[in-house]
Every structure is written in structure tokens, then in C-alpha cells.
Amino acid sequence: MINNKMTKYIIFTLIGLSLVSCDPEETFQNHLYQRIFINKYDKEMKIVYHSFGSSKTDHGATIVTDTLILPAHTKKAGNFEEEYSSEGIKEDNFKWIIEQNISVFNTINNVPKFELYLGGEFIKEWKGIAGYLGTEINSPYNYNSWEIIKYDTIHKPSHGMFIYGEILFTISKEDIE
């Protein structure tokens, strides 16, 4: 049971939030576009993401890997980095949305990388710092390689989460050969 002091504290907090135009429910919601990887090739592929974690003993030298298996002609969410930005979502600022969601692959001291495998065979490696690299280079680090699909309705897969669409990175036959 909540005592009188706690009730008063909650009431004062809610009044204070309303006075500064802060909607408590809105404040704690995640507005995002989901990062999706698409395999447009006839065979299953594997994407391995290597990033550098950190611990108190290794000063960030721990290599963390995450793997995404993409069957032929499918798409899957590739949330290799959990962080994302909800900036620009409500204004449909697609350039900003892509930049914020892809820049999470950047690090300050170490350069993370993606590896592409077809079956068990290593095909290529992508690494670098995210940026505008033109339309000729297909890379997860190239803002120009990603496209956005905005949903007609907002998806709400869990409490406090609102997905407005998808940020798509496509791997095709040209990337394999």
C-alpha cells in the first residue's frame, strides 16, 4: 500500500511534468525504424558482425561477434547494435534517421567490421567509418546503401516501442561475385 507521503510525491511529480509539457508516457517510448538485411541471392548467406566491447580489465579490447543467417531471398532484422536514435522519426527526416541508425556501427578507437559468408566460404569484409560513399559502393557503412520504407501504420510489438518502418540494406548477386 502506498503511504500518504508517496502519494503526494507522485502527484507533485505528475503536476511538475505537466507544467513543463512533458508527457511521462511519451518520454519513455522508443520510436524507431528497424534495421533489416535483405538477401537477394539464390543461396543462404551469413553476416558476422565484429565490434569491440569493453570491460574494466581489457580497456575495450574484447571482440564481440554477432551472427545473422539469411536464407535465400529473405529479409531479417539485424540489430547488431542495440542502440538507435529516435531523432527525426516524427518529422520523417529520413536522412537523419539513416545517419543515426547506421552511425552506431562506428567506434572511436577501433573499427568494427562485417564479414559476409556464403555457405562456409568467406566472401568479403566491410569495415570503415559510416559515411556517404556514393552509389557504386554497397556497404553497411555507406549511408547511400540503405533505404527506408515507412509503414502505413505504426507497429507496436511491445510496451513503449513504436516501429515506424524499416531501414534496408540489400545484398545481391553483384556483392557475391
**DSSP assignment of 92-137, as one string?**
T-HHHHHHHHHGGG--SSS--EEEEEETTEEEEEEES--B---SS-
Q: Per residue in 40-60, pLDDT tens? A: 999 999 999 887 654 444 455
Q: What is the domain extent for residue 158?
A: 29-176
Residue at 19 is within a domain:
no
pLDDT of residue 146: 95
pTM comes to 0.75
* Total of domains in the chain: 1
% of residues, the chain, pLDDT over 90? 33
Q: Are the C-beta atoms of 107 and 62 separated by less than 8 Å? A: no
Over 60: is that where the pLDDT of 25 sits?
A: no
Task: For residue 1, tell me if it sits in a domain.
Answer: no
Specify if 16 maps to a domain.
no
- Is 5 a member of any domain? no
**79 part of a folded domain:** yes
pLDDT digits (tens, 9 = 90+) for 108-149: 556 678 999 998 899 999 988 889 999 999 999 999 999 999
